[in-house]
Amino acid sequence: MRKNYIMTPGPVPISEEVLMEHGRPLMHHRSPEFSKIFIEVTDKLKKFMQTSNDVLILTSSGTGAMEAAVTNTFSVGDKVLVINAGNFGERFKKISAKFGLNVIALDYEWGDNANPADVKKSLDENPDIKGVMVQHSETSTGVINDIEAISKVVKGYPALMIVDAISGIGASELKVDEWSLDIVCGGSQKALSAPTGISFISLSPRACEAIEKSNIPKFYFDLTAAKKYSEKTPPQTPWTPGISIIVAMNKALDMFFEEGRENVYRRHRTLALAVQRACEKLGLELLVKDPGKRGVSVTSINVPEGIDGKLLTKTMRVKYGVTVAGGQGKLTGLIFRIGHLGYVGIFDVLIAISALEFALKEQGWKFELGAGVVEVEKVFMENNYLNE
């Protein structure tokens, strides 16, 4: 018998409560029963995102919301600044280039995060930049960007502030209105711990104005259509949405508010710290050297010399049922990533570290068996995690 555990930064484990909602008999998307849920989910998403801006629900993975942000806000030839510190920064670059934007990239080493002073310099050098795009949590490396500080810089210029918060929002602080974020993208399968397939996007009044002027062709991801349908009575989507996923998200959002925003953030901080300290105890090195730059959604660990990283993650998955993520893009084979995002608690982390220890031992890595597990327990005790 092998029990399976998903310890990746998306998709993430789903609670029984949310799965039960997901399994309810299908409703029609133009029915009063579904309308009621659709209205509730939209309202709860606004609260979740801490915004009074419009929030639109799209049926796609997170990348759809990223594409919608690009194709609806700009016109062909517009200059944009893409902050790029990893695979998802690369994705914003690729999408922007594909739709004919003039991309200025602010590239960082993978494992580093963005410096607001560099953003200011780029904006000073290119006063015609129409938008700045950045990841909140760069999932390919595990860094977090200081969105508040970057947005403060961008506020002094006409550019729109566009944030891919897909793996960050709901795990660490992001205040859409207070930080003046024009467009923010999120996804159902990250911190919310709902099934995959829904993305959501918030639009400030300034973003809505930009949308009216955009000339890039789009159809499925036309936010003008999505907005028009969201303003109907009752609110709807232009095309058939992922009905069951939205129903499941309603429960997932309730669970977020029941636990409480601060408690959710604190749980993520403790889980991240436990994984980091356990890995260091096992003699492994973390990709992100500066603890101040580490996010709480995922931890990237360097594959040490003498260890086959691909075999390591395969052993964890096939033999012990624990799925962790490998490296993406240029970090493929060089790192592996343990997700501790969403519906994840102390015992999930203990299991992941335990499986890691077994897999490392099988390749002859030297450490005291159990050292990582003990370290996880110590972090939980030191942080009073067990008394909550």
Ligand X SMILES: *Cc1c(COP(=O)(O)O)cnc(C)c1O
Which 159-218 residues touch ligand X, going by CB under 6 A? Answer: 164, 166-167, 187
> Interface with ligand X includes 63 (CB under 6 A)?
yes
> Interface with ligand X includes 309 (CB under 6 A)?
no
Which 81-120 residues touch ligand X, going by CB under 6 A? Answer: 88
Q: Is 334 left (phi over 0), alpha (psi -120 to 50) or beta?
A: alpha
How many residues line the site for ligand X (CB under 6 A)? 13
For residue 166, the minimal CB distance to ligand X (Å) is: 4
> Interface with ligand X includes 315 (CB under 6 A)?
no
3-state helix, strand, coil in the chain (%, to 5): 45, 15, 40
Give Dmax over CA atoms of the chain in angstroms. 64
Selected range binding ligand X among 70-78, 106-114, 131-139, 270-278, rule: CB under 6 A: 131-139
Q: What does residue 233 show for φ and ψ, rounded to 5 degrees?
A: -110, 115
> Interface with ligand X includes 135 (CB under 6 A)?
yes
Selected range binding ligand X among 134-142, 234-242, 275-283, 299-307, rule: CB under 6 A: 134-142
Minimum CB distance to ligand X smaller for 326 or for 372: 326
**Choice from 62, 186, 295, 342 touching ligand X (CB under 6 A):** 62
Nearest to 49 by CA among 253, 345, 230, 321: 253
For residue 171, the minimal CB distance to ligand X (Å) is: 11
For residue 87, the minimal CB distance to ligand X (Å) is: 8
Minimum CB distance to ligand X smaller for 64 or for 372: 64
d(CA 346, CA 358): 19
The answer to whether 68 and 166 have CB atoms below 8 angstroms apart is no
Q: What does residue 6 show for φ and ψ, rounded to 5 degrees?
A: -95, 115
> What are 132's strand-pairing partners?
81, 161
* Residue spans of alpha helices (H) in 49-145: 62-73, 87-98, 116-125
The answer to whether 260 and 166 have CB atoms below 8 angstroms apart is no
Selected range binding ligand X among 132-140, 207-215, 221-229, 303-311, rule: CB under 6 A: 132-140
Which 2-41 residues touch ligand X, going by CB under 6 A? Answer: 9-10
- Residues of this chain that interact with ligand X (CB under 6 A) are 9-10, 61-63, 88, 135, 137, 139, 164, 166-167, 187
